[in-house]
C-alpha cells in the first residue's frame, strides 16, 4: 500500500499549517502536497492550549484557533485543505523514514514517498521518569503539549476546583498554567530548582516582579528544590508531592512543565544533528538536500548572532516554515533566512515581549512598581536584546527594531536613564 507526493510535510503542528498556507500562496497544484500528523486534527495554534483553552469561561475551542489565526490570517480548516487539494493524513504516526529512498512508513503500514520532505515534528514534553521520578501516568498528573493533553488537563482542572495544584517547573508551561489554575479557583504552589522563575530568560529583577504579582494572586513558590516522589491514594490518584528538601505538598492535581526534547529520532543516523535538532542551512535545508526541517526540531543559522540556534517558539516556527517553502518553490529568489528571535507570553493582565539575545550586561528601565518596565542586554558594546512588559504595539515594534539594528552603547548609565525612550527615538 502506498502513495506518492511531490511535497510531504511530516508533522501537523504550527509549522505545518504555515508551510501549507505558503505552498498555496505560491500555487501548489492539487494532489502535490500531503501533511501527515499523529494528531487527529488539522494544524492549530499551539500557544492557545496554555491560554484561551484553559479559561473557565468561554474557552477557546477548535475550529476557532486553527492556523493561521495567530497572525490574523485566514483560518485553515479541514475544508480549506480539501479545497486546495492538500491531503491531510491525520491521526497517523510515521514510524520510520528512509531519506535515501525518500519514503516514510506509517504506523498503519502505508508507505508514502516524496520528492521533497519538510520535517516539522516539533518536540515532546520531557517526562519526570527521565529524572528518576515515577508517576507520570497517574490520575491527576498532567503534561501539556498537544490537544489530547489539554483536554485531559481541562477535565482534571474541573474536578480540582477549590483544591490544590502543584506546578512542577518554573518555565513557560509552569508560569502560564499557574495563571490559568488561579483563574479557575485552584490553589497553586510552584516548585522549581532555580533561584527564580523563567531562569532561561528573566533576570532576577524581572523574575521578582512576576513572582510578586503571582503571590498577590495567591500563588506560592518553593524554589531551589525538586520533586522526588508522589503520594497516591488506593485508586492511584495523586494526593501529595514530596520534595527533595523534605516538604510534602498536598495535591489534587499536578502539572509538569520541565522542558522538551525535539522529535528527531526518525532521522538519527540519517541527517546531521546539532544542538539537539536537525541541522539546516539558511534555506532550512538539512544535510540531505531533499529534506528540510522547520520549527522546534530545526537548528538553523541565526544570522544576526552568527551562530546556529534551535528555538522553541511559535514566531520562529511560522517564519521558518514560510521561508522553507519559498526556498523550495523559488530557490533563485530566496535569500538566507534572517531571523530576529522573538518570544512573548501573556498571563493574567500582564503581557511581555522579548527580542534578540539575553547575553552580556543588563540595563533595566521603567517602573517596576507599576506594569511598564523593561531591559536591554548589551554585549560587546552593542544592544543585543530587549524586553518590555506592558508595551503598546508601537513600543514593541521599536524594541524589535533597535535589537535588529544592534546600536553601539558607550555608557550603560545613560542607556538606563533614556530607558524605553532610547528605542523610541532611534
Ligand atoms: P508542533 O506545533 O509541536 O507540531 C509538531 C507536530 O508533529 C505535532 O502535530 C505532532 O503530533 C507531529 N508529529 C511528531 N512526530 C510525528 C510522527 N512521527 N508522525 C506524525 N506526526 C508527528 N511559543 C510562543 O512563542 N508563544 C507561546 O505563547 C507559546 N505557547 C505555547 C503553549 C504550549 C502549551 C506549548 C506546548 C507550546 C507553546 N509555544 C509557544 C511553543 C510553540 O507552540 C512551538 O514552538 C511550536 O508549536 C513549534 O511548532 P512545530 O510545528 O515545530 O511543532
Ligand atoms: P521551559 O524550558 O520553559 O522550562 C523548563 C523548566 O523546568 C525550567 O524553568 C525549570 O524550572 C524546570 N525544571 C527543569 N528540571 C526540573 C526538575 N528536575 N524538576 C523540576 N523542575 C525542573 O519548558 P516548559 O515550561 O516545559 O515549556 C515547554 C515548551 O513549550 C518550551 O519549548 C516552551 O518554549 C514552550 N512554551 C512556550 C510558551 C511561550 O513562548 N509563551 C508558552 C508555553 C510553552
Ligand atoms: O500566537 C498565538 C497565541 O498566543 C495564541 O493564543 O496564537 C494563538 C491564537 O491567537 C489563538 O487564537
pLDDT band per the 50, 70, 90 thresholds, residue 103: very high
Q: CA quadruple 136, 15, 111, 101: dihedral positive or negative?
A: negative
> What average pLDDT does range 177-185 have in this prediction?
98
Give the separation between CA 71 and CA 73, rounded to whole angstroms: 5
DSSP annotation string for 170-235: SSHHHHHHHHHHHHTT-EEEEEESSSSSSTTT--HHHHHHHHHHHHHTT-EEEES--EEEEEE-TT
DSSP code at position 365:
E
- Closest by CA position to 42, among listed 20, 12, 70: 12
Ligand 2: atom nearest CA of 123 is 32
Q: So what's the pLDDT on residue 149?
A: 98
Compute CA distances 228 → 128, 164, 247, 261, whole Å.
9, 18, 10, 21
- Which residues are near ligand 2 (CB < 6 Å)? 50, 131, 168-174, 176, 192-194, 199-200, 226-227, 257-260, 312-313, 343, 345
The proportion of the chain whose per-residue pLDDT surpasses 70, expressed as a percent, equals 100
Give the separation between CA 129 and CA 45, rounded to whole angstroms: 28
- Please tell me the distance between residue 260's alpha carbon and the centre of ligand 2 in angstroms: 7
Give the separation between CA 249 and CA 162, rounded to whole angstroms: 16
Give the separation between CA 316 and CA 15, rounded to whole angstroms: 9
Render pLDDT for 337-353 as a digit per residue (tens, 0 to 9): 999 999 999 999 999 99
pLDDT band per the 50, 70, 90 thresholds, residue 371: confident
Query: What pTM does this model have?
Result: 0.98
Ligand 3: atom nearest CA of 48 is 6
- Closest by CA position to 106, among listed 91, 120, 118: 91
> What average pLDDT does range 296-322 have in this prediction?
98
Length of the chain: 426
CB-ligand 1 contact for 260 (6 Å cutoff): no
Q: Given its phi and psi angles, is residue 41 left (phi above 0), alpha (psi -120 to 50 degrees) or beta?
A: beta
In this structure, the number of other CB atoms found within 10 A of the CB of residue 236 comes to 12
320, 294 Cβ separation under 8 angstroms: yes
> What average pLDDT does range 6-33 have in this prediction?
98
Give the separation between CA 408 and CA 172, rounded to whole angstroms: 31
pLDDT band per the 50, 70, 90 thresholds, residue 370: confident
pLDDT at 1 over 90: no
What integer best gives the mean pLDDT of the chain?
Answer: 98
- Please tell me the distance between residue 93's alpha carbon and the centre of ligand 1 in angstroms: 15
Give the separation between CA 420 and CA 411, rounded to whole angstroms: 15
- Closest by CA position to 253, among listed 189, 202, 311: 189
CB-ligand 1 contact for 46 (6 Å cutoff): yes
- Please tell me the distance between residue 76's alpha carbon and the centre of ligand 3 in angstroms: 14
Burial class (CB in 10 A: 0-12, 13-18, 19+), 208: middle
- Please tell me the distance between residue 343's alpha carbon and the centre of ligand 2 in angstroms: 13
pLDDT band per the 50, 70, 90 thresholds, residue 426: confident
> What average pLDDT does range 75-88 have in this prediction?
98
Residue listed under C-alpha cell 543516523: 269
Q: Which ligand is nearest to the CA of 51?
A: 3
170, 190 Cβ separation under 8 angstroms: yes
The proportion of the chain whose per-residue pLDDT surpasses 90, expressed as a percent, equals 99
Grid coordinates of 133: 521520578
pLDDT at 361 over 90: yes
Amino acid at each position: 500500500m502506498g502513495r506518492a507526493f511531490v511535497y510531504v510535510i511530516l508533522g501537523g503542528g504550527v509549522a505545518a499549517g504555515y508551510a501549507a498556507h505558503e505552498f498555496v500562496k505560491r500555487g501548489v497544484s492539487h494532489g502535490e502536497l500531503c501533511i501527515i500528523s499523529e494528531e487527529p486534527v488539522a494544524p492549530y495554534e499551539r500557544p492557545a492550549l496554555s491560554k484561551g483553552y484553559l479559561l473557565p469561561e468561554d474557552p477557546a475551542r477548535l475550529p476557532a484557533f486553527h492556523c493561521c489565526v495567530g497572525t490574523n490570517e485566514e483560518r485553515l480548516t479541514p475544508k480549506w485543505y480539501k479545497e486546495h487539494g492538500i491531503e491531510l493524513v491525520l491521526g497517523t504516526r510515521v514510524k520510520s523514514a528512509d531519506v535515501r529512498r525518500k519514503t516514510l512508513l506509517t504506523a498503519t503500514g502505508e508507505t508514502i514517498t516524496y520528492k521533497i520532505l519538510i520535517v516539522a515534528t516539533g518536540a515532546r514534553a520531557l517526562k519526570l521518569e527521565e529524572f528518576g521520578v515515577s508517576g507520570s501516568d497517574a490520575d491527576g498528573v498532567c503534561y501539556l503539549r498537544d490537544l489530547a493533553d489539554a483536554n485531559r488537563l481541562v477535565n482534571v482542572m474541573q474536578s480540582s476546583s477549590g483544591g490544590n495544584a502543584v506546578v512542577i517547573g518554573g518555565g513557560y508551561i509552569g508560569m502560564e498554567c499557574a495563571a490559568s489554575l488561579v483563574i479557575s479557583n485552584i490553589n497553586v504552589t510552584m516548585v522549581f530548582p532555580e533561584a527564580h522563575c523563567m531562569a532561561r530568560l528573566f533576570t532576577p529583577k524581572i523574575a521578582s516582579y512576576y513572582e510578586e504579582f503571582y503571590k498577590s494572586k495567591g500563588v506560592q513558590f518553593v524554589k531551589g528544590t525538586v520533586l522526588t516522589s508522589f503520594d497516591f491514594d488506593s485508586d492511584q490518584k495523586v494526593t501529595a508531592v514530596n520534595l527533595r528538601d523534605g516538604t510534602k505538598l498536598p495535591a489534587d492535581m499536578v502539572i509538569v512543565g520541565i522542558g522538551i526534547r525535539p522529535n528527531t529520532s526518525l532521522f538519527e543516523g540519517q541527517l546531521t544533528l546539532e544542538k539537539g535538532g536537525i541541522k539546516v542551512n539558511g534555506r532550512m535545508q538539512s544535510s540531505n538536500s531533499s529534506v528540510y526541517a522547520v520549527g522546534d526540531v530545526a537548528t538553523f543559522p541565526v544570522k544576526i548572532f552568527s551562530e546556529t540556534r534551535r528555538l522553541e517558539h511559535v514566531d520562529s516556527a511560522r517564519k521558518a516554515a514560510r521561508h522553507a517553502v519559498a526556498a523550495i518553490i523559488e530557490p533563485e529568489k530566496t535569500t538566507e533566512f534572517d531571523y530576529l528571535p522573538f518570544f512573548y507570553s501573556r498571563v493574567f493582565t500582564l503581557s511581555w515581549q522579548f527580542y534578540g539575545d539575553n547575553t552580556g550586561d543588563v540595563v533595566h528601565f521603567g517602573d517596576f512598581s507599576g506594569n511598564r518596565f523593561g531591559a536591554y542586554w548589551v554585549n560587546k558594546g552593542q544592544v543585543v536584546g530587549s524586553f518590555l512588559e506592558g508595551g503598546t504595539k508601537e513600543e514593541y515594534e521599536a524594541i524589535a527594531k533597535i535589537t535588529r539594528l544592534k546600536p553601539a552603547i558607550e555608557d550603560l548609565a545613560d542607556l538606563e536613564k533614556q530607558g524605553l525612550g532610547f528605542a523610541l527615538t532611534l
